[in-house]
Amino acid sequence: MNIRTGVLPLLRGTTITTRHRFLFPFTILPISHRYISTTHSVKMAAQDTPSGKESKSNDNVITNWVKPGDKSGEFKRQQSTFRSFISSSPDSEFPAEAGRYHLYVSLACPWANRTLIARKLKGLEDFISFSAVHWHMGSQGWRFVTPDETDQEDVKGEGVVPHDEGLTHIRELYFSVNPEYEGRFTVPVLWDKKTKRIVNNESSEILRMLNTEFNNLITDPFKSVDLYPEDLRKQIDEANEWQYDLISNGVYKSGFATTQEAYEKNVKALFEALDRAEKHLTDNPGPYWFGERLTEVDIRLFVTLIRFDPVYVQHFKCNIRDIRSGYPAIHKWMRNLYWGIPAFKDTTNFNHIKFHYTKSHPNINPVSITPLGPVPDILPRWEEVPAVSFRG
């Protein structure tokens, strides 16, 4: 009996027979009962497995998540540098035009994942192109796949293609705009193909642009999708503020901490915030954060929580509880988005997510072993782990 055969019967649990009926403005996808992890039987790209030499980094490389010598042990996220805006105004420096802009993303990165979800929800696939990098981040940052890697099982994914002009790394885009650039080479990057410039590399601002600035070019029902409605803006901003600091960035502050004190401080704050989110979703059963209205809060929180059980529980030591057995309201809300709205499911690539984190952080996982679990990566929509089924 192998590991998978042994654990599968334990994961089936009891099927819930009372199904909640939600009103969706989107097509509902059929449920797929998939129990084999996406990490099963893949051939790794040898050149992307971090070497012992790479883990011996100097003080300036991108994989130093806490500045060497910082005795606080705290991870401090860098502010985005490029903050221009696409505008619907025709005299704008960056006017909204079909085919002019390109998104560079990583399918592993939650911040980049935000922009891909919004792009699909707003029907902008034919207006803004995108491409995705390889899941591995080395000391030179994100890199593009090579032509002979695109068919490898661990690399496959929508938009995972070599750079069309032969660039090897995202950093080359940054240096092409500013040869003196000294920050991190982050994704997403919103690129202007016409002027060969970076418009913006702040995901929250790209979300806002995609939500409104192309509305004159698209048709209903996409034009009517409003992820930042005026009457909810105060509540959205308030939710974004604490969720970003304590949850979305909180998992990183926990995982990248280099002292016990920094880790415990941040992981406790993380789970207090998850408790707060659980209470909100219990008291306001949705299907979305704001009832019947899908907003950017759902997008921003989803991209972190879909990664929580597969990665953050073990890799970032966020293991006080997991989502599937510890937070029933969050779990229901998250699966509602994943299984019910194609934009969420279609932009989630568990291979890239699991391989990136476990093989790109030699300070956390120096031997680059990717755990097999959890199995499955996400539970079917109406099924629970045995403990929750019994409790419910």
Q: Distance between CA 108 and CA 114 in Å, rounded?
A: 11
Residue with tokens 């995972």: 160
Q: Distance between CA 356 and CA 142 in Å, rounded?
A: 10
CB 150 within 8 A of CB 135: no
353 closest CA partner among 314, 296, 320: 314
**DSSP per-residue letters across 85-134:** --BSSTTSSSB--TTSEEEEE-SS-HHHHHHHHHHHHTT-TTTEEEEE--
Run of H or E including 198: strand 197-200
Which is the catalytic residue, given 62, 86, 107, 109?
109
Residue 318 annotated in active site: no
Q: Which residues have a Cβ under 8 Å from the Cβ of 155 and sit 6 or more positions away?
A: 45, 134, 135, 145, 149, 351
Q: Please provide the distance, in angstroms rounded to a whole number, between the alpha carbons at the two ends of the chain.
A: 31
Q: Which residues have a Cβ under 8 Å from the Cβ of 124 and sit 6 or more positions away?
A: 210, 214, 218, 222
191 closest CA partner among 90, 300, 80, 86: 86
Q: What angle do CA 342, 345, 348 make, to 5 degrees?
A: 140
Q: Which residues have a Cβ under 8 Å from the Cβ of 273 and sit 6 or more positions away?
A: 242, 243, 246, 247, 250
Q: Distance between CA 104 and CA 190 in Å, rounded?
A: 7
Other C-beta atoms lying within 10 Å of the C-beta of residue 83: 12
User: 355: buried, middle or exposed (CB in 10 Å: 19+, 13-18, 0-12)?
Assistant: buried
Q: Which residues are catalytic?
A: 109
